[in-house]
């Protein structure tokens, strides 16, 4: 029996997971590359020491990146809430102004009809 095709939300969630995985792998690759460059600048270290320092450097770098991404995501959520509230307030205000203009126009039309 065939499964139904995924919904748009499921597809979007899957794409987001893949994108997150690819971004994480790219960050990990960059962190490892920087770690290797860092330990190469210390030729007096043994191979085991270089490997340990490189591992710790990359681990620390990835953890820092995760913290930064979490902070950015939290700020985005905060800004989204703030701007959504502002948008709704402006929308209500604009609706009120439009209703006031409509009522004023209707009153003027009635007034002109009564005068003529």
- Is 110 within a domain? no
The count of structural domains within the chain is 1
What integer pLDDT is reported at residue 65 of this predicted model?
A: 92
Give 6 or 53, the one with higher predicted confidence: 53
- Is 51 within a domain? yes
Q: State the residue range of the domain holding 26.
A: 9-89
pLDDT tens per residue, range 14-63: 999 999 999 999 999 999 999 999 999 999 999 999 999 999 999 999 99
Report the C-alpha gap between 51 and 38 in whole angstroms: 11
What integer pLDDT is reported at residue 41 of this predicted model?
A: 94
* Cβ-based neighbours of 59, under 8 Å, separated by 6 or more: 31
Distance from the first to the final alpha carbon of the chain: 77
Query: Quick one: pLDDT band at residue 73, thresholds 50, 70, 90?
Result: very high
**To 5 degrees, how large is the angle CA 50–CA 54–CA 59?**
150
Centre a 10 Å sphere on the Cβ of residue 2 and count the other Cβ atoms it contains: 4
What integer pLDDT is reported at residue 2 of this predicted model?
A: 84
- Is 79 within a domain? yes
- Is 63 within a domain? yes
- Is 37 within a domain? yes
- Is 103 within a domain? no
pLDDT tens per residue, range 91-105: 999 999 999 999 999
DSSP 8-state assignment for residue 45? S
Mean pLDDT confidence for 77-85 = 96
Q: At 5, is the secondary structure helix, strand, or coil?
A: coil
- Is 85 within a domain? yes
Closest CA to 34 of 12, 54, 14, 20: 54
């Amino acid at each position: 029996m065939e499964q139904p095709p995924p919904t748009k939300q499921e597809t979007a969630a899957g794409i987001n997971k893949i994108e997150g995985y690819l971004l994480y792998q790219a960050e990990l690759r960059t962190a490892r590359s920087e770690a290797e460059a860092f330990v190469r600048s210390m030729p007096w270290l043994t191979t085991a020491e270089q490997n340990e320092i490189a591992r710790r450097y990359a681990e620390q770098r990835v953890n820092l990146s995760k913290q930064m991404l979490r902070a950015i995501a939290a700020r985005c959520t905060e800004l989204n809430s703030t701007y959504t509230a502002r948008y709704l307030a402006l929308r209500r205000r604009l609706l009120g102004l439009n209703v006031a203009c409509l009522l004023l126009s209707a009153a003027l039309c009635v007034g002109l009809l009564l005068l003529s």
